[in-house]
């Protein structure tokens, strides 16, 4: 796979997090010993204000890596009242989380979360010992929400965001190396979070690039050129897959992991591995996106930097459409209206961006500042039109947000479905009794991810939202 699709770590985080430690031989206040080999792998290791919840107290957990930063929701059931009487969180106390694979090659997820709120119903007994709490939090990054007044003089957006990541003690990751948008970036008493989002919105390299930024589950600020992730290139990465009933890497028994292609599939042959798709569906937001954003947007602004021009010549207007994937024109259709209708040619939107000040030689923003805002917006929103949601019965630590991954869906059940999806060319070497689903299979980009745990299942699942810009013609 081309290097530009890889989101690589450029620098490492230095942010301080709370210590999470437990002694195998130290009995807790409840009189139980804790097996450290289970921690994080068979159930999440959760700690609040020094209290370590055991496996019977953690009812469910959802680690959501979908928005600008990770969020968490944890439901715990206290049975002794110790948490409520001594360890209940107060202002500034974080909830600490540790999740890991049973394969030692993967870096574990270790995060501290700022507790936003804790909700609970009254206890079910008069002693207050039997009570459930739901703890909701956002990733804890000191000063991320502090308002500051700063300037980043004569820097590109890439260099500015990298500098901001250092100031926040975050790592920096990207599939980009540079942008063409040097200017003085101003943070006029905005929060770092707002400044990151505003800088990303105005980032520009060329007309074939658009950007998003987010903080991942390893404390890296990611700055991603999303257009690089959509490609018709047919390369497949190698991955390490954990298998069902595999042993923990801390045990003395043989570890059942396997090197295999990084392909997510519902094929029976991969069942039992972390590549297996247990459930899937499609999500359609085309109508909502189309009504609100049109098929193109005209950006309009008044360029006051053109001092010598007549006022009527300073009005600027450009139309911007979402990009298409090169090489996908022949056998795929873009999400640009119903075939045979002309609404694509007439359904447009307009955005007035105000006045761009400066002089001919000294401008206070880069040349494509206004253009980049619409270019980034129109292309990012286009990725919400048609999505695939897949659920993996095991967490797959090969996967990360923004990654380009191949998906293979086969039909092995309903006879009519197998008949209508049958393709003599692509199914000539397929196993007997299945057909390859050309419409659903192909390359996707991971848009959102969620790790979930439920005490009734005693396993981590992974819920993934996949985006695709063009879809096959069937």
**Res 123: pLDDT:** 85
**Res 1: pLDDT:** 43
| Phi, psi (deg, nearest 5) at residue 379 | -75, -40
Q: At what angle do helices 369-382 and 286-293 cross, to 10 degrees?
A: 160
Which of 275-284, 326-335, 358-367 is most confident? 275-284
Tens-digit pLDDT profile for residues 116-145: 999 998 888 888 888 999 999 999 999 999
**Res 26: pLDDT:** 46
**Res 431: pLDDT:** 57
Report percent pLDDT > 70 for the chain.
88
Mean pLDDT of 363-385: 92
DSSP state of 107: P
Report percent pLDDT > 90 for the chain.
57
Least confident residue range of 27-36, 65-74, 408-417, 442-451: 27-36
Asked whether 470 and 325 are in contact (CB, 8 A), the reply is yes
Is 60 exceeded by the pLDDT of residue 387?
yes
Got the DSSP string for 422-452? --TTTTTTSPTT-EE-TTT-EEEEEEEEEEE
Tokens 């002309």 belong to which residue? 342
Tens-digit pLDDT profile for residues 13-36: 999 999 988 765 444 444 455 566
Helix (H, G, I), strand (E, B) or coil at 265: strand
Is 90 exceeded by the pLDDT of residue 356?
no
- Which two three-digit tokens encode residue 326? 């090169």
Asked whether 53 and 80 are in contact (CB, 8 A), the reply is no
DSSP state of 396: -
Using alpha carbons, list the distances in angstroms from residue 245 to 23, 200, 258, 334.
26, 43, 13, 42
**Res 22: pLDDT:** 77
- Which two three-digit tokens encode residue 377? 């917006």
Which domains are assigned to the chain?
3-11+144-229 (3.55.50), 45-139 (2.40.10), 238-285+385-472 (no CATH), 291-372 (no CATH)
Partnered with residue 61 across adjacent β-strands are 74, 453
Structure confidence at residue 462 as a pLDDT band (50, 70, 90): very high
Instruction: Please give the helix or strand (H or E) that residue 391 lies within, else none.
Output: strand 386-392
Least confident residue range of 38-42, 106-110, 187-191, 364-368: 38-42
Alpha helices in 168-255 (DSSP H): 192-201
Q: Round to whole Å and give the CA distance between 51 and 29.
A: 10
**Res 30: pLDDT:** 46
Got the DSSP string for 270-312? GTTBTTB--EEEEEE-HHHHHHHH-SEEEEEEEETT-TTS-GG
**Res 29: pLDDT:** 45
Q: Round to whole Å and give the CA distance between 14 and 310.
A: 53
Q: At what angle do helices 369-382 and 192-201 cross, to 10 degrees?
A: 90
């Amino acid at each position: 796979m081309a290097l530009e699709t890889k989101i690589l770590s450029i620098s490492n985080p230095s942010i301080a997090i709370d210590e999470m430690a437990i002694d195998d031989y130290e009995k807790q206040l409840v009189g139980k010993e804790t097996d450290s080999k289970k921690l994080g792998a068979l159930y999440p290791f959760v700690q609040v204000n020094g209290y370590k919840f055991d496996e019977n107290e953690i009812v469910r957990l959802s680690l959501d890596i979908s928005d600008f930063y990770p969020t968490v929701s944890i439901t715990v059931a206290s049975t002794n009242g110790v948490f409520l009487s001594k360890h209940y969180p107060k202002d500034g106390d974080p909830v600490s989380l540790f999740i890991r694979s049973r394969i030692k090659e993967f870096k574990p997820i270790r995060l501290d979360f700022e507790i936003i709120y804790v909700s609970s119903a009254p206890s079910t007994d008069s002693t207050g010992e039997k009570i459930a709490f739901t703890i909701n939090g956002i990733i804890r990054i000191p000063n991320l929400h502090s308002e500051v007044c700063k300037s980043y003089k004569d820097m590109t957006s890439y260099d500015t965001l990298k500098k901001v990541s250092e100031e926040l003690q975050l790592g920096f990751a990207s599939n980009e190396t540079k942008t063409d948008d040097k200017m003085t970036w101003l943070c006029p008493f905005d929060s770092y979070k707002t400044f990151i989002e505003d800088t990303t919105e105005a980032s520009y390299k060329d007309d074939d690039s658009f950007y998003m930024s987010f903080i991942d589950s390893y404390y890296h600020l990611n700055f991603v050129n999303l257009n690089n992730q959509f490609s018709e290139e047919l390369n497949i990465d190698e991955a390490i897959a954990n298998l069902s009933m595999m042993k923990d890497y801390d045990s003395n028994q043989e570890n059942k992991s396997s090197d295999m292609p990084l392909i997510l599939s519902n094929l029976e042959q991969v069942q039992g591995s972390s590549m297996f798709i247990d459930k899937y569906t499609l999500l359609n937001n085309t109508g909502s996106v189309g009504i609100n954003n049109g098929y193109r947007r005209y950006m309009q602004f008044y360029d006051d930097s053109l001092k010598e021009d007549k006022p009527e010549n300073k009005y600027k207007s450009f139309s911007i459409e979402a990009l298409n994937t090169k090489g996908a024109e022949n056998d795929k259709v873009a999400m640009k209206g119903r075939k045979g209708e002309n609404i694509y040619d007439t359904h447009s939107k307009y955005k007035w961006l105000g006045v761009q000040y400066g002089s001919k030689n000294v401008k206070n923003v880069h040349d494509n500042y206004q253009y980049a805002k619409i270019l980034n917006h129109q292309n990012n929103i286009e990725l919400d039109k048609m999505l695939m949601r897949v659920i993996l019965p095991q967490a797959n630590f090969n996967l990360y947000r923004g990654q380009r991954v191949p998906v293979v869906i086969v039909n092995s059940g309903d006879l009519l479905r197998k008949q209508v999806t049958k393709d003599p060319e692509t199914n000539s070497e397929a196993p007997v009794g299945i057909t390859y689903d050309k419409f659903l299979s192909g390359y996707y980009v991971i848009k959102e991810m969620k790790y979930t745990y439920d005490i009734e299942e005693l396993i981590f699942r992974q819920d993934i939202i996949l985006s695709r810009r063009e879809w096959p013609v069937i």
